[in-house]
Structure 1
Amino acid sequence: MNYVTYGGVTVGLCILGYEVVTWWPGRKQLMKDPLKHVSRLLPFLLSWCYGCLTTLGVAGLIGTASSAVLGLSNWLGDAALVWGVGEQGGQLAARPTFVPLSGPGACLVLILTAVFIAAVKKASNSGNAGVLKRGAWCGITLGTSAGVAGFAAVPLATTSNWLGDNTYGRL
């Protein structure tokens, strides 16, 4: 199982903060047309969910890439804590309720990987691929934490397992 450090969570929260600040239209604009403005967050949230799913017991190339991103984020975040604010990094407690993906759930992650790659390729034509990449990166770093973001992994894994079981069970 992947682990996350204080620095890794800090990197994830920095990405999340950056995304929220760049998205924020202002209170007046948000109240005028909330659906329009909230829908602008949807690509980030969907890619966050995908990133979170890749940390939940997925092996192979996808799991290795996810572990590498998490390891790099842990290292970068811990270095930033030590050199930036003089604080020590360290490993955080993992979620107390870890829900691994079932075989069909892992198949769904493979399908989502193909969809994610296609979405990034399509978004790169319009210059919006960064939102998707940041969302997946944020999901990888926050998906294994024991905080609120980590608890989101439980329903994501349960939903993926259910969708996979129902998709492959009916074939």
Structure 2
Amino acid sequence: MNYVTYGGVTIGLCLLAHQLFTWWPGRKALTKDPARHAATLLPFLLSWSYGCLTTLGVGGLIGTASSAVLGISNWLGDAALVWGVGGNVGQLAARGTFLPLTGPGVAIVLVLTVAVVVSAKKSSRGGDIKRGAWCGITLGTSAGIAGFAAVPLAQAANWLGGTVYGAL
């Protein structure tokens, strides 16, 4: 089972802060053309959603990679909290509700994995895509920060998988 520590959530929040601060175009530019500026956040948000989905009990190589990223993030964040600011570490509460992915939902995660890997390699927004997936993995496991998104994301993946694979 995936779990997240204070350090892991801190890493996720740092990734989110980095993305938002580097994206921020300024109030005047944002009010002048909000749709164009909001669209530049889309690769990050979509890959963030993918990262959250990979923490929902996906097994195999994808689940192992997601768990490894979460474990490394937990360790790095905990080390930064203890040695960087003299804080304490501990495990956060996991999501209260857990909605597992169905067979077709897991198939959709595999399709999304291909899309994310190819997009990260070929797109000019590859850094945003990688950061978004990493941020989704670290924050998608926590209950208080982004765990609320896990249930709708799992429902959407299960529905899409059921629709696509049910029509075949």
For Structure 1 versus Structure 2, the TM-score category normalised by the shorter chain is over 0.9
Partner of 1:145: 142
Is the counterpart of residue 162 in structure 1 residue 153 in structure 2? Answer: no
- For 1:72, the aligned partner's letter is I
1:40-55 equivalences in 2 (<5 Å): 40-55=40-55
SS of equivalent residue, structure 1 residue 64: helix
**Which secondary structure does the structure 1 equivalent of 2:146 belong to?**
helix
Matched, 1:130 2:127: yes
- Pairing of 1:30-45 with structure 2 (within 5 A): 30-45=30-45
Partner of 1:89: 89
Q: Deviations over 1:107-131 (max 9, x none)?
A: 00000011111111212xx3x3111
Instruction: Give identity over the alignment, percent.
Output: 72
TM-score normalised by the chain length of structure 2 = 0.98
Give the superposed CA RMSD.
Answer: 0.8
Q: State which drifts further: 83-92 or 133-142.
A: 83-92
Whole-angstrom distance in 2 between the partners of 1:148 and 1:4: 11
- 1:12-35 CA distances to partner (integer Å, 9 max, x unpaired)? 000000000000001111000000
Equivalent pairs, count: 168
TM-score by length of 1: 0.96
Q: Which residue of 1 aligns with 2:27?
A: 27
**SS at 1:152 equivalent:** helix
- After superposition, what is the alpha-carbon deviation per residue over 1:36-80, rounded to whole angstroms, capped at 9, x for unaligned? 100000000000001111111100000000000000000000000
Question: Partner amino acid for 1:120?
Answer: A
> Is the partner of 2:88 in helix, strand or coil?
coil
In 1: Cα distance, 2:121 partner to 2:7 partner: 30
Q: Which runs of 5+ in 1 are unaligned?
A: none
Quote the residue 1:16 is aligned against.
Answer: 16
Query: How far is the alpha carbon of 1:165 from its aligned partner?
Result: 1.1
Equivalent AA in structure 1 for residue 49 of structure 2:
C
1:91 alignment partner AA? Q
Which amino acid is 2:103 matched to? G
Aligned AA (1:163): L
Q: How far off is 1:148 after superposition?
A: 3.6
Partner of 1:145, secondary structure, is: coil
Q: Given residue 131 of structure 2, which amino acid in structure 1 is its aligned partner?
A: R
